[in-house]
Structure 1
Amino acid sequence: MDIGDRSELSLLDLDDLLTRGIEPVEWLVPRVFQRGGLYQVVSYAGMGKSLLMLDISQRLARGIEGLPGAAIPDGDSTSSEALTVLYIDGENTRRIIMSRLQEMDVRGLNRLKYASMPTLLPLDTERGGAEFVAHVRHVQAEVVVIDTLSRFVEGDENDAATYAALYRYALAPLRADGVTIIRLDHTGKDQSKGARGSSAKNTDVDGSWIIRGEKNSSRFMLVCDKDRTGDLAPVVPIRRTQEPLGHVATMLGDSTPPDGFLAVDFTGVSDYSRSTQKVLDENPERVREVIAILDRIVGEDESLGFDKAQACLRGEGERVRDGVTKAAVAVRKRRIAGT
């Protein structure tokens, strides 16, 4: 067989690599996205994943930290220079994008290459994948964001072959170039199972993040659903800021509940009301978050009731469902009373 015209295998010199040791990680966002990695970020529609990724993208393109508050692990580094980011957006119009960037109050975005509603061939086809790779190489993108994945493939979302073809034709060549790829996707009815459709979506990524929280809340969490490298944070609490619009990591941790969260398993506790117990079983993370906010504002004030709690939360710019606030108040009172 004549293999003279084929690409080389790029064999590793293992002895040399072992002599030099493991290289420190270069992060785009510490404990979230490594340079050269392939990631997915998934959530229900309307949770703000596009807004979060636009913010991170514009910051990387301007050469500043991708997510303020994200601490760099000892010995690792982050890029100190502006990166060329190609953002492929199949969901948001030009008007929406401009409105969000204006709220972020940013300028100097020549390194952010943004394609809104592009007419691309499906990326899970040989021609479509080749053309996409050519576009990325043409703009010399170092980071590619695909928003949302389902807009750019033609195969059945439940068919593993769709994502095998996507990886082969569009993603693998970019990974070989050292490009960081972040693709956005929707969760199914059971959010704990990650991205909807075929489980093959999860097989090729280095890391998968699920956004958990309440719609319209200024606080939510990135929860790590897959970590091939072992370097990612299990949970990243994030606060969305206003004036200017942006995002801040409030903690990058291991297994420690962040910002005063109660390390309590609420499930199966029978002495709360039925409605409160339902909220605690279904959304314990949000209840813990609300408790932490109230603790910061009023301390150990046992007299705090529902109305005052809602007023405190509104003053912090938080939109919290009545049931969640009632559950948080009930848990606080029992904790303070020591029962």
Structure 2
Amino acid sequence: MTTNHVEAPPREDPLAEPPRDQGDPAEQPEDRFPSLDWKQAFATDFTHIDWLPGRFIERGQQVAIVGDGKVGKSLFAHDWLWRAVTGRSFLGDERRDPLRVLYFDRENGLRDVVTRMQALGATPDELEGFDYRMFPRFSGGLDAAPIAVQELLRIVSEIDPHVVIFDTVSRFITGKENDSDTWLQFYGRVHAPLKGMGVAGVRLDHMGKDAEKGSRGSSAKSQDVDHVWEMTRLNENHSRDDDGIQTVTTEIKLKRTHTRTGLGDDLMHLTRRGRKGSAGMWLTGQTRHELADKGTVREANQLVQSYVDELLAKDVPPGIGREKLKEWAASRGITLPGKTGTVSQIAAGVKAYYAAKGDQR
């Protein structure tokens, strides 16, 4: 007796390119290929720049932050984004509405992340808007596997973040770093969709062997994003007081080497300060990044806003005047600046915060 042999259907390759989207036949061409309305476009106010905290990236832009290993890229990002999700100021910028952040980390262990957050002063209750994915297991590289990109965009759709971070970007690709196609595909599959959704995308990246040539790998990496910021450690000092507390002061240069818009600063000098206890652990709330460009309006604003943030964290009462504020701060061990004008600005900042919240007491 003979039997008919039936060929099994071929298995789908999960990493194969999906069929090209032919579009919805019911969708009108003007919906798929929208024509620019010149009058409406010219009526748009482009003088307002929608900065994210720190004013080195605008809402929806795609940015690379590049630096040598151990220069502190992740710590910088953690400080920036913790302040972003809590509505705090950063690098002398004004307070802004809290953001939602989606962070993909294939670089740092749990101890690193938690101890850094504690050193910055963050608490679990403050991090509700900080969705942190540790060592995510995408189904392939985000440069080469459509299914992995679908997984990423599904999470983005669910979380609806304002900012998405990749730390470190080389751990999310399967192609060669020196191959321009790797980064062209990463842009087309990751950055372009994020930009289309108005979601900022930030990738942390390692510097190449020749620092003058920028990030490691293909030059295409600097051509596809809106800005490339290079982070360099200039100097680091260690001092210890009589109680064994060590203060570590690091001078950092943040230089924009590539930009699509040219808006904002091209160079910022930062100071990162942190304090360690006698056992070598970073002390809670004693690490922060500050703008080091002395004498600027932004630096002065940073000083005022840092005190406003500290007072708000201590539940300073609304409507408090300058003299009462000095008494209230002194009773809680908070030393305010000596200049009367600066204390008046701090009191005004506290009042402005509560006024924005609708508390006029």
Query: Within 2, Cα distance between the matches of 1:99 and 1:184?
Result: 20
**Matched residues in 1 for 2:26 and 2:163: separation?**
30
* Aligned: 1:80 with 2:96: yes
- The one-letter code matched in structure 1 to 2:225 is V
Matches of 2:266 and 2:222 in 1, distance apart? 17
Larger Rg: 2
Q: In structure 1, which of residues 244, 247, 264 is the aligned counterpart of residue 286 of structure 2?
A: 244
Structure 1 residue 12, shift from structure 2 partner: 2.9
Q: How much has 1:11 moved relative to structure 2?
A: 3.6
Give 1:232 deviation, angstroms: 2.9
Structure 1, unaligned stretches of length 5 or more?
71-77, 259-339
The question of whether the paired residues in 2 share the 8 Å contact of 1:69 and 1:250 is answered with no
Whole-angstrom CA distance in 2 between matches of 1:185 and 1:80: 27
Partners in 2 of 1:166 and 1:32 — Cα distance? 22
Structure 1: distance between partners of 2:264 and 2:227: 8
Match of 1:200 in 2: 220
3-state secondary structure, aligned to 1:248 = strand
1:101 Cα offset (Å): 0.7
Q: Which of 91, 98, 103 is the matching residue for 1:68?
A: 91
Q: CA deviation at 1:31?
A: 3.8
Measure the CA separation in 2 of the matches of 1:160 and 1:229: 23
| Whole-angstrom distance in 1 between the partners of 2:288 and 2:220 | 33
CA-CA distance at 1:79 after TM superposition:
7.2
Q: How many residues align?
A: 247
Quote the Cα distance in structure 2 between the aligned partners of 1:53 and 1:92. Answer: 12
- Aligned residue for 1:28, secondary structure, equals coil
Whether the aligned pair in 1 keeps the contact of 2:250 and 2:271 (CA below 8 Å) is: yes
Shift of 1:83: 0.8
Partner Cα distance (1:8, 1:23) in 2 = 29
Aligned equivalent of 1:119, options 137, 144, 152: 137
- 8 Å CA contact 2:54–2:91 kept in 1: the answer is no
Of 99, 105, 124, 2:121 maps to 105
Percent of paired sites with the same residue: 31
* Residue equivalent to 1:29: 53
Distance 2:258 2:49 in 1: 18
- Aligned partner of 2:7 in structure 1 is none
Quick check: 1:150 aligned with 2:150? Answer: no
Aligned equivalent of 1:16: 40
Supply the distance in 1 between the matched residues of 2:289 and 2:132 (Cα, whole angstroms).
Answer: 20
Q: 1:237 to 1:214 in 2, by over 3 A?
A: closer
- The letter of the residue matching 1:118 is P
Question: 1:224 aligned to 2:256?
Answer: yes
1:206 maps to amino acid: D
Alignment deviations for residues 96-119 of structure 1 (CA, whole Å, 9 cap, x no partner): 100101111212110001111111
Is 1:42 aligned to residue 66 of structure 2? yes
Partners of 1:49 and 1:253 in 2: CA distance: 26
Consecutive unaligned residues in structure 2, runs of 5 or more? 1-21, 237-248, 275-284, 300-361
Cα distance in 2 for residues equivalent to 1:193 and 1:43: 12
Q: What SS is found at the alignment partner of 1:87? A: strand
Task: Report if the CA contact (8 A) 1:27-1:79 is conserved.
Answer: no
Would you say the 8 A contact 2:119–2:287 is kept in 1?
yes
Distance, in Å, in 2 between the alignment partners of 1:51 and 1:252 is 23
Query: Contact 1:239–1:248 (CA<8 Å) still a contact in 2?
Result: yes
Residue pair 2:60, 2:194 contacting (<8 A) in 1 also: no
2:333 aligned partner: none
2:251–2:272: 8 Å Cα contact kept in structure 1? yes
Q: 1:61 to 1:173 in 2, by over 3 A?
A: same
- Give secondary structure in 2 for the equivalent of 1:15: helix
Aligned mates of 1:23, 1:17 — CA distance in 2: 13
| From 183, 196, 221, the counterpart of 1:176 | 196
TM-score where L is the length of structure 1: 0.68
Kept in 2: contact 1:62–1:83 (CA 8 A): yes
Post-superposition shift, 1:250?
A: 2.2
| 1:222/1:236 contact within 8 Å kept | yes
